[in-house]
Structures are given as C-alpha cells and as structure tokens.
Amino acid sequence: MTGGAGYIGSHAAKALRLAGHRAVIFDNLSAGHREAALGAPLVEGDIGDVDAVRRAIRDSGATAVMHFAGWLSVADSVRDPGGYYRNNVAGTLGTLEAMVAEGCRHFVFSSSCAVYGQAAGSPLRETAAPAPINAYGQSKLAIEQALPHFERAHGIRSIRLRYFNAAGADPDGELGEDHDPEIHVIPRAIAAAQAGARMEIYGEDYATPDGTCLRDYIHVSDLADAHVRALARLEGGGASATYNVGTERPSSVRDVIAAVERVTGLPVLRQAAPRREGDPAVLYACAERIREDLGWRPQRADLETIVADAWRWHAAHPRGFAMESR
Ligand code: UFG
C-alpha cells in the first residue's frame, strides 16, 4: 500500500488487516505517520524510486497494490502544477511500471471527485464526462485514462475509486486525520472551535441554498471498506471499474460548522473570505454503481456521526500522532 501511513491509507490498512489480509505499507512519511501504521510492516520509500517500489513488491510478495500516495491539495495544485504532475502522474506511472516488472496485476487507485470539475451537475454519475478544473483533478484523471492501456498491454486490472470528501476518524479512536498544514474544512472548524479562533469561509456567494459550497462528506472508514471490497472484486476475477464513493448527501460549509458546534458544544467563530481558487460549487455523488457491484453501503453516512468521530480523535490527540512519539 503506497501512502499507507497517511490518512485514508492507514484506515484502509486497518480494514484490510481486519478482513484477514496482510497489508505492507510503503510510505516516505512526508505526510504519513509511522504511528499510523499501527505496527504493520512499514517500508520507508518514495514512489519516485521505481527500484524501491519493485523491491517492496518483490520482498512482500504483494499480489495487489493499493495506491494512496499522492498530493491532495486543490489550491496547491493550482500554484504548483508541475509538482502535482510529477507526484501524482509520474509517481503513479512509476508504481505501475514496478508492478509490471514484478508481475503484480491488481491495482486499486485513489481517484477523486475532482475529476468531474464543473462538468455535469450533481448528483454525479461515473458516466458524466470528466472536466477537471484544477491540476489535482487533472492528475487523477490522467491516471484513470492511462489504466486501460496498462490493462491491454500488461494485464493489470484496476478499480478506480473516486473519493468524495474523506472525513471523520476511526470509530475505535486509533487513527485520525493529521495533515500539516490542515486544509480540510471539518478539522479546521474543529480547530477553530477548540482555539476560539476564527475560521474563514471561502465564498458565500455560490449559487447554492446558503451560498457556500456543497460537498459529499464520506466517512474514512466507509472509504476503507470500499477498498476491501474493491480488492475482493479484483481477486475474484471481476472486471476493472470506476466507482464514486460518497454518501449522496450534499452538505454546505455552513452545515459543517453547525454540526461542529452541535457536537463540540463550542461556538465556531467565522469570517467571510474570498472564494478559493479551483473550488467547484457543488460536488456530490450518485453511488448506485458501487452499491450494486460491490454491495457497499456507507455505515456512518450522517454528517453528525462523521463530525463526532473526528471530534473524538482531535480532542484526544490535539497534536495528532505527534503525541504518541513524545
Ligand atoms: N472551506 C472553507 N474554509 C476552510 C476550508 C475549507 O470554507 O478553512 C471550504 C472549501 O472552500 C470547500 C469546502 O470547505 O468549499 C470543503 O473544502 P475541503 O478543503 O475540506 O475539501 P475540498 O472539497 O476542497 O477537497 C476535497 C479533497 C480533495 C479533492 C476535492 C475535490 O480534499 O482531495 O475534495 O474537489 F480533490
């Protein structure tokens, strides 16, 4: 699992172990955390180093690669497209070439709803024509489009999971979100509540019911479960496929803030700020395809449940994973 010490990767690694798999984590720890491996085998390495990826596949005897490693900030991708193409496109192509060389033929790819851009109007179906509006989304789409070629040429079957907004934390409290800097709205609202600081709302003049952007917040444990099911499909001989992974419920930035206030019992001070470049107004999923093909159903779909799990993690780990290594 590349990026298996990161936020989504670590939750997926835990879910895979609980499902009886042996998950080996490959992570350069630039954004991941050693503690997030929860004691699973961790190979320190960079996906840019194809030989290191090859060795990790060979030494672990991996029969599948789940590819979480990648950069994730829409705003940064607008400023630094080269970095996003290098990490998310070139790095992933190197990973695929390592798989080809080592005879590893199953690939689960962390894609994103950012591939849709402003395209089609929500709820988004996988059949909507992708039209990313930032380099991040474009980098994910580039890999999605490369994968059929790898299948034709090298027999690599793949599941592309288009995550909507990953949020929440492990309900057992072992794992949670720890980004530096933290860009995501739920942890930011929680941090603002804890500190009594102001959080910015990026745009209140969108064509949405309350003027703020609508997103589909999906619990990270539900995302993790989608990976377990994706792997089962590949191992069972199922065809390659692309799936939205979302709750199908749109929530606005104001809805998020209201949920954080209810869950924490603390006020969230806010302040209007300009729109953030690269932000589409509305993104939420139609998840019928993954329901039908993989039997996936989100178990913690309610925004308040998602925020409550995130809050439990942040309240217990105010400095994230750093607390454990003191
Ligand atoms: N927002 C604020 N204030 C903040 C942070 C965020 O108003 O301090 C707003 C954003 O403008 C956006 C919404 O909250 O409207 C959600 O923002 P996030 O940064 O939490 O999430 P994004 O929707 O921008 O990003 C997520 C994933 C990306 C993915 C993207 C698809 O993190 O990886 O969805 O658009 F590409």
Q: How far is CA 167 from CA 27, 72, 87, 151, 239, in A?
A: 21, 14, 23, 32, 29
CB count in 10 Å sphere of residue 50:
17
Ligand 1 centre to CA of 108 (Å) is: 23
pLDDT digits (tens, 9 = 90+) for 308-324: 999 999 999 999 998 65
- CATH number of the 7-325 domain: 3.40.50.720
SS3 145: helix
> What's the rounded Cα separation, in Å, for the pair 70 and 43?
16
How far are the Cα atoms of 123, 141, 143, 199, 292 from residue 109, in angstroms, in the given order? Answer: 22, 11, 9, 33, 20
Split at pLDDT 50, 70, 90, the class of 122 is confident
Q: Quick one: tokens of 246?
A: 């979302």
Query: What residue's CA is closest to ligand 1, atom 33?
Result: 72
Instruction: Respond yes or no: is residue 206 known to be catalytic.
Output: no
Residue 107: partners with Cβ closer than 8 Å, 6 or more residues away: 64, 65, 66, 67, 96, 99, 147, 150, 156, 157, 158, 159, 234
| Gap from CA of 149 to ligand 1 centroid (Å) | 31
Q: Residue 82, Cβ neighbours under 10 Å: how many?
A: 9
Which residue do the tokens 């105010």 mark? 318
pLDDT at 291: 98
Given a cut of 90, whether residue 280 has pLDDT beyond it is no
Task: Reply yes or no on whether the pLDDT at 297 is more than 50.
Answer: yes
Q: Hey, whose CA ends up nearest to atom 29 of ligand 1?
A: 114
Residues framing ligand 1 (Cβ under 6 A): 72, 74, 112-114, 136, 165, 183-185, 188, 199-202, 213, 215, 253, 276, 279, 283
Please give the average per-residue pLDDT across 216-240, as a whole number.
Answer: 98
The confidence score (pLDDT) of residue 118 equals 76
- The strand ranges marked E within 84-187 are 106-112, 157-163, 165-167
What does the pLDDT read at residue 28? Answer: 98
pTM: 0.97
Cα distance between residue 180 and residue 195, in whole Å? 17
Q: How far apart are CA 259 and CA 4, in angstroms?
A: 29
Average pLDDT for the chain: 96
Residue 119 scores a pLDDT above 80? no
Asked if pLDDT for residue 125 goes beyond 70, the answer is yes
- 185: CA distance to ligand 1 center in Å? 6
Residue 326: pLDDT above 50?
Answer: no
Pairing relationship of beta strands 198-202 and 269-273 according to DSSP bridges = parallel
Catalytic residue among 7, 116, 136, 163: 136
pLDDT at residue 325, rounded to an integer: 45
Residues 250-274 have a mean pLDDT of 98
- What residue ranges do the domains of the chain occupy? 7-325
How far is the C-alpha of 212 from the C-alpha of 9, rounded, in Å?
29
Confidence of residue 202 (pLDDT cuts 50, 70, 90): very high
Nearest residue to 233 (alpha-carbon basis) of 286, 289, 293, 292:
293
Atom 25 in ligand 1: residue holding the nearest Cα: 165
Tokens at 167, concatenated: 């949020």
Residue 39 has pLDDT above 60, yes or no: yes
- Mean pLDDT confidence for 217-237: 98
- Per-residue model confidence as pLDDT tens digits over 55-66: 999 999 999 999
Under 8 Å between Cβ of 317 and 177: no
Distance CA 107, CA 46 (A): 18
% pLDDT > 90, the chain:
94
**Given this model, what pLDDT does residue 43 score?**
98
Q: Is 155 exposed, middle or buried (0-12, 13-18, 19+ CB in 10 A)?
A: exposed
CA 218–ligand 1 middle distance (angstroms): 13
Confidence of residue 279 (pLDDT cuts 50, 70, 90): confident
